[in-house]
Amino acid sequence: MKHLKMLVLAGTAALLAIAVGGGSASATVLCKTTANPCPAESKLLTGTKVEGTLPANVPATFESTDKETINIWCWESTFSFTTSNTGGASETVKASVTKWSWANCTTAKKMVPLKTGELEIHYLEGTGTGTLTGKNMEFTAESVLGSDCVYGTKGGTVHLGVTREPGALETKSQIEINAVFGKVSGSLCPEDARIGGRYIVNTPVPLYVAGS
């Protein structure tokens, strides 16, 4: 009976730790290898610059929810960020987005980042990948009517997308963006817009996300 009571107390403590974000649930680091946990000598430290560009013939997109008011496809785009911490056993990796640019678009419509913002990387257990959460981001996109529609995180956070570890016979990771932003301002603009893009990580190579 005493043994059973101790097991119940231990289980309760574990659930409480998860509920308040304790334990290893938030453990995240960027790593040069697939090893997990990541060896100390393979961890990518504070100040690491990560940069991705689009693969050939695969556009990045900015579309309003009705896919008519705003429908911008761009064949050149760069997404880069610099880490502001290393991460570890009790924290995720945080970073400032240093560049998010679009060019060579299918229309002359405007697509301009006003605030590139910040992001966090959260390790997905049992993989070499992670999810991306963004905040303090804002963009202006021109509608087919010529008006400016501003979308952003509106003081909150958004799910930006995921990182993908290199596949078989590949050396480079990928960042897949699929994020919905709310309208900040603009007349005759839909309430939401989606940004999509698949970026090949050219720096650093290779790049993995590990638990710690």
pLDDT tens per residue, range 151-201: 999 999 999 999 999 988 899 999 999 999 999 999 889 999 999 999 999
Contact 75, 112 (CB under 8 A): no
Task: Report how far residue 137's alpha carbon sits from residue 151's, in angstroms, rounded to the nearest whole number.
Answer: 8
pLDDT of 6 reads 38
The 28-31 sheet, strands edge to edge: 87-88, 28-31, 208-210
pLDDT band of residue 126 (cuts 50, 70, 90) is confident
When pLDDT is averaged across residues 100-116 and rounded to a whole number, the result is 88
0.75 cut: is pTM over it?
yes
pLDDT of 24 reads 40
Q: What percent of the chain has pLDDT over 70?
A: 88
55-82 pLDDT, tens digit each? 999 999 999 998 899 999 999 999 999 9
Strands (E), 54-156: 60-64, 71-83, 87-88, 93-105, 111-115, 118-123, 130-135, 138-142, 148-152
Structural domain boundaries of the chain?
A: 24-210
- For residue 134, the tally of other CB atoms under 10 A from its CB is 25
Q: What is the mean pLDDT of the chain?
A: 87
- Residue found by looking up tokens 């697939």 in the block: 34
pLDDT band of residue 15 (cuts 50, 70, 90) is very low
pLDDT band of residue 20 (cuts 50, 70, 90) is very low
pLDDT band of residue 106 (cuts 50, 70, 90) is confident
Q: What percent of the chain has pLDDT over 90?
A: 74
Q: How far is CA 4 from CA 9, 10, 11, 18, in A?
A: 9, 10, 11, 21
53, pLDDT greater than 60: yes
